[in-house]
């Protein structure tokens, strides 16, 4: 008896050889969303603002959107916090001006969106209150090296540096409380699974480590990509599924069952994946793309993917940036995406309109404004 095969999109989607086995055996484990009709997504951003002197560095992580609906972005040694509702901007200068080769390399909000952790290329990690411009805590890594990424979770503050080390920090203690050394090269991606004790870290050689933060030990190691596993995102409705994106020599988005370490889904984009974000309400994945695998040019676009049964179908391609979109962040109400590009622009996209009337993120706030009036 012949079995009809589901038609594939224009994008190649090679699945793991044992995909049918996983599909058959894990129906109870993996929740499968209902198939949706192709929906309309605005292809123009609702807001575009200038970010002069933004550092064009793939390994920095200088954008975050906090629970208090404030966007934080770092430009060299200065951090700007912009309230998406009131459009009031605050400038945070934590240090005196230093040589041009010094810069803020990453930042992140705390889970409540009231405090900000900021790290630089000299191993300095600072916790501050943007409302009062007060420094609450400072940590200095023994290795004076670049902190590529920092994440503030319910389990503490975690950072990854250029030497392949993940550190756990306690804001009440001046030194790191735990050293997690599962990588041999730079750590460029970190992501905490919501409601789980698992933290994923990605490194420059494509290795992804899954950590149990309760014991600070590696739970699973996955050779996810041939190079650069920076983009990491946990599926919000399947707690054991992690999405990862590779560099330009890899170009794949892959889904992993972290319990087994097996790949359960894949899509080849033929381009560098700079960032990944999930929408729980729409069951879609957002990816941002830079250098292409073959030609070495930049695509500079965002793609929304519908994912069903671990197959990917493109929903829409968003093109506004003329430089690769290095950073992605999602609004606290999960309706808007912020993208920051090497073209020194930040764009706000209304990708996931909510049926709720309590949408706190403004739409059509401005268009083509300079940060002189809002973020600078």
Q: What integer pLDDT is reported at residue 175 of this predicted model? A: 78
Task: Give CA–CA dist 48/286, Å, rounded.
Answer: 19
Q: How far is CA 200 from CA 177, 192, 211, in A?
A: 18, 6, 6
Q: What local confidence, expressed as pLDDT, does residue 99 receive?
A: 67
pLDDT in tens, the chain (376 residues): 333 333 344 444 443 434 443 343 334 444 555 555 678 999 999 999 999 989 999 999 999 999 999 999 999 889 999 999 999 999 988 765 666 668 999 999 999 999 999 999 989 999 999 988 788 888 887 778 899 999 999 999 999 999 999 999 988 877 778 898 889 999 999 999 998 999 999 999 999 999 999 999 999 999 999 999 999 999 999 999 999 999 989 999 999 999 999 999 999 999 999 999 999 999 999 999 998 877 768 889 999 999 999 999 999 999 999 999 999 999 999 999 999 999 999 999 999 998 765 555 544 443 333 444 445 4
Pair type for strands 78-83 and 70-75: antiparallel
Contacts of 3 (CB under 8 A, 6+ apart): none
The H-or-E segment that residue 314 falls in is strand 311-319
CA 209/CA 61 separation, integer angstroms = 19
Each as own residue / partner, the long-range contacts of residues 177-185 (CB below 8 Å, 24 or more positions apart, any chain) are: 178/216, 180/209, 180/211, 180/216, 180/218, 182/207, 182/209, 182/211, 182/218, 182/221, 183/207, 183/209
CA distance 289 to 319: 10
CB 138 within 8 A of CB 127: yes
Residue 131's pLDDT is 87
- How many angstroms separate the CA atoms of 233 and 40, rounded? 24
Q: What is the dihedral of CA 286, 254, 107, 154, to 10 degrees?
A: 100
């Amino acid at each position: 008896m012949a079995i009809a095969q589901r038609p594939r999109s224009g994008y190649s989607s090679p699945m793991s050889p044992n995909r049918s086995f996983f599909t058959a055996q894990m129906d109870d484990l993996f929740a499968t969303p209902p198939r949706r009709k192709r929906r309309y997504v605005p292809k123009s951003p609702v807001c575009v603002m200038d970010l002069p002197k933004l550092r064009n560095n793939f390994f920095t992580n200088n954008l975050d959107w906090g629970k208090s609906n404030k966007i934080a972005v770092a430009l060299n040694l200065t951090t700007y916090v912009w309230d998406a509702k009131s459009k009031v901007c605050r400038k945070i200068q934590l240090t005196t001006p230093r040589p041009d080769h010094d810069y803020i390399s990453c930042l992140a909000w705390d889970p409540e969106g009231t405090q900000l952790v900021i790290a630089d290329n000299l191993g300095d990690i600072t916790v501050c209150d943007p409302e009062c411009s007060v420094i609450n805590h400072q940590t200095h890594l023994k290795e004076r090296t670049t902190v590529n990424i920092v994440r503030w979770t319910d389990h503490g503050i975690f950072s990854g540096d250029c030497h392949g080390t993940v550190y756990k920090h306690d804001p009440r203690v001046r030194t790191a409380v735990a050293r997690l050394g599962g990588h041999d090269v730079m750590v460029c991606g970190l992501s905490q699974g919501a409601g789980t004790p698992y933290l994923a870290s990605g490194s420059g050689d494509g290795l992804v480590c899954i950590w149990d933060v309760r014991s600070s030990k590696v739970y699973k190691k996955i050779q996810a990509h041939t190079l650069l596993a920076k983009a990491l995102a946990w599926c919000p409705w399947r707690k054991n599924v992690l999405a990862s994106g590779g560099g330009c020599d890899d170009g794949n988005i892959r889904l992993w069952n972290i319990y087994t370490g097996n790949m359960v889904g894949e899509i080849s984009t033929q381009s560098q994946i700079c960032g990944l974000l999930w929408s729980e309400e729409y069951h879609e994945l957002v990816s941002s793309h830079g250098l292409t695998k073959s030609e070495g040019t930049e695509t500079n676009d965002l793609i929304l993917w519908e994912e069903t049964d671990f197959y990917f179908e493109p929903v829409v391609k968003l093109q506004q940036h003329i430089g690769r979109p290095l950073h992605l962040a999602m609004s606290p109400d999960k309706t808007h995406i912020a993208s920051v590009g090497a073209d020194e622009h930040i764009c706000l996209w209304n990708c996931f309109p909510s049926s709720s009337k309590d949408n706190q993120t403004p739409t059509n706030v401005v268009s083509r404004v300079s940060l002189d009036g809002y973020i600078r």
